[in-house]
């Protein structure tokens, strides 16, 4: 395998559609209120993708040096685990991606707020710095929060609230309370993806002391938690759609929950954790489909 392919492996391209789901939803909501901006949209997407890639590099590095990624782990082999990249190379990649992310964040802030504003750019710079910190500290360092059952909270905050409401604010310079509903919906679906990943890896995580929420709850309670996440997500999105004016086509986004409910049934009857691995892709793509159709319906069919 070439170095290019090794870096693509470490970037985990299959995780990127999920990461941009919140931007699609936040942009759609801003469009509903009459504000669009192509440059903000493009740089918001690039920033989100950059942060996700940084997180993936850091996750590969953190789990690799801690020995969490070992032969007993289910799922795709990681770059450091497989020897495709060394720890030194991955560390360098993390630093480079942090630099690129920092530039993207600054450019996005300037495009959105200009050079005259002070308060909002400072707030978003702090938020961007915190996002970079969160991307790295999930698995890196002795106090990695992913090893202490806090990953779900950070995923909910950044993939849901920050992604949807933050991108919406970049356009509107305001946040409407009703927008918390789709933000919560996307956040909970994203937490569902993480929870599913942790259910798959429960045995290997437990053996190396990675105390995810699933390890703390146990598999059966983690399944109940999973159903709750996805069900509340559906209810939040349904209520939001029913309370906003616009074309009935907006309800098409709920079709994304058809495979989600089928997925819930699969999780319920699965005993062998290895069989949960294919469900990760299904849930992530269902979330992306929901966000994409939401975006199209609000952006083009108000």
Q: Contacts for 108-117 with beta carbons within 8 Å, 24 or more apart? A: 108/40, 108/43, 108/44, 108/47, 108/170, 111/37, 111/39, 111/40, 111/43, 112/37, 112/40, 112/170, 112/171, 113/173
Region 32-53 average pLDDT? 95
Per-residue pLDDT at 38 exceeds 70: yes
Confirm if 227 and 264 have CB atoms less than 8 A apart: yes
Distance CA(208)–CA(69), nearest Å, equals 9
Q: What is the pLDDT of residue 51?
A: 94
What percent of the chain has pLDDT above 70? 93
Q: What is the pLDDT of residue 298?
A: 87
pLDDT in tens, 78-90: 667 667 778 888 8
Cα-based distances in Å from 202 to 39, 77, 219, 249: 42, 16, 8, 40
Q: What is the pLDDT of residue 70?
A: 56
Q: What is the pLDDT of residue 140?
A: 84
Cβ atoms within 10 A of the Cβ of 227, count? Answer: 14
What is the chain's percent helix, strand, coil content, to nearest 5? 80, 0, 20
> What phi, psi does 212 have (nearest 5°)?
-70, 170
Confirm if 227 and 261 have CB atoms less than 8 A apart: no
Cα-based distances in Å from 154 to 73, 113, 162: 23, 26, 10
Per-residue pLDDT at 1 exceeds 60: no
pLDDT band of residue 241 (cuts 50, 70, 90) is very high
- Mean pLDDT across the chain, nearest whole number? 89
pLDDT in tens, 158-202: 999 999 999 999 999 999 999 999 999 999 999 999 999 999 989
- Kindly state the tokens that stand for 284: 């992530």
Distance CA(195)–CA(212), nearest Å, equals 9
Per-residue pLDDT at 71 exceeds 60: no
> Which residues, 6+ apart, have CB-to-CB distance to 53 below 8 Å?
11, 12, 16, 97
Q: Which residue from 165, 190, 166 is spatially nearest to 240, judged by alpha carbons?
A: 165
Region 241-265 average pLDDT? 89
Q: What is the pLDDT of residue 19?
A: 93
Q: What is the pLDDT of residue 75?
A: 58
Residue 11's SS3 state is: helix
Q: What is the pLDDT of residue 68?
A: 62
> Which residues, 6+ apart, have CB-to-CB distance to 5 below 8 Å?
84
pLDDT in tens, 95-141: 999 999 999 999 999 999 988 788 899 999 999 999 999 988 888 87
Q: What is the pLDDT of residue 130?
A: 92
pLDDT band of residue 69 (cuts 50, 70, 90) is low
Region 276-295 average pLDDT? 94
């Amino acid at each position: 395998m070439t170095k290019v392919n090794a870096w693509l492996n470490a970037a985990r391209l299959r995780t990127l559609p999920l990461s941009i789901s919140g931007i699609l939803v936040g942009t759609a909501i801003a469009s509903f209120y009459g504000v669009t901006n192509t440059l903000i949209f493009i740089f918001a997407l690039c920033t989100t993708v950059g942060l996700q890639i940084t997180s993936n590099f850091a996750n590969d590095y953190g789990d690799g040096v801690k020995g969490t990624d070992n032969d007993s782990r289910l799922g795709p082999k990681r770059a450091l685990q497989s020897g495709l990249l060394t720890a030194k190379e991955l560390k360098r990649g993390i630093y480079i991606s942090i630099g690129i992310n920092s530039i993207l964040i600054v450019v996005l802030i300037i495009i959105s707020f200009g050079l005259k504003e002070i308060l909002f750019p400072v707030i978003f710079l702090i938020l961007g710095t915190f996002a970079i910190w969160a991307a790295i500290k999930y698995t890196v360092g002795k106090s990695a929060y992913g090893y202490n059952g806090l990953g779900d909270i950070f995923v909910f905050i950044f993939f849901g609230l920050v992604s949807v409401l933050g991108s919406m604010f970049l356009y509107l310079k305001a946040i409407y309370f009703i927008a918390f509903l789709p933000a919560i919906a996307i956040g909970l679906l994203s937490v569902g993806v993480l929870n599913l990943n942790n259910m798959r890896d429960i045995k290997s995580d437990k053996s190396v002391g990675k105390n995810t929420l699933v390890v703390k709850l146990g598999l059966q309670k983690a399944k109940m938690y999973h159903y709750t996440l996805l069900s509340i997500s559906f209810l939040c999105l349904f209520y939001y759609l029913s309370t906003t004016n616009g074309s009935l086509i907006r309800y098409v986004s709920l079709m994304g929950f058809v495979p989600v409910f089928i997925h819930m049934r699969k999780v319920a009857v699965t005993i062998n954790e290895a069989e949960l691995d294919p469900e990760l892709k299904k849930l992530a793509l269902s979330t992306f489909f929901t966000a994409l159709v939401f975006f199209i319906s609000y952006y083009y069919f108000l």
